[in-house]
Structure 1
Amino acid sequence: MKKLKNEKELLKTAMQIGQAYAVKAGYSSFSPTDSADNKVEAIYRLLVNDKLIAPLPAVQESAQNFRHRLVKWIAGKLPADHPLLK
């Protein structure tokens, strides 16, 4: 798995957009006590359920792979000239 440039910032952006999408889809917002891994997994599963991203094979499901999939998702949605993609 190749690490993308600005992966931390891209993950932060993906989480913000993913949380906003979840709220618009009718889910309650996340609790401040929810762990980052739980939030990442919940957003990943929501996007897979809504067919916005392709699911990982069951043997590859891990917090690290969920994060990477979210980063790839948001990198594909941002305009090519976005500062995080340079």
Structure 2
Amino acid sequence: MKKIKNEAALLKKAIIVGEKYAMNRGYKGFAATNSAKQKIESLYRLLVNDKLIQPLALDKEDQPNMKHKLALWIARQLPKGHELLQ
């Protein structure tokens, strides 16, 4: 897995956008007590279920790889020239 530039900031943006996407799909939103790990896994599984991202191999399904997939997903959604893509 090749680390991408601004991956942490992209992940943060992916969680925000992903949560809005989930709410538009009927999910009630995350509780304040949900950890970042729970949010990442939930969003990853939702995006895989909706076929917006390709699933990881079963032996590669772990937090670092899920974070990386979410960062790649949001990087593709952002317009060219966005500050996080610099």
How high is the TM-score relative to the length of structure 1? 0.97
Q: How many residues align?
A: 86
Q: Give the distance between the partners of 1:21 and 1:33, measured in 2 at CA.
A: 20
Output the aligned Cα RMSD.
0.6
Structure 2 unmatched ranges of 5 or more = none
Q: Give the distance between the partners of 1:18 and 1:4, measured in 2 at CA.
A: 19
What is the aligned partner in structure 1 of residue 67 from structure 2?
67
CA deviation digits over 1:39-86, x for unaligned, max 9?
Answer: 000000000000100000100000111000000001111112111101
Q: Percent identity?
A: 52
What is the aligned partner in structure 2 of residue 55 from structure 1?
55
Q: Give the distance between the partners of 1:27 and 1:14, measured in 2 at CA.
A: 16
What is the aligned partner in structure 2 of residue 80 from structure 1?
80
How high is the TM-score relative to the length of structure 2? 0.97
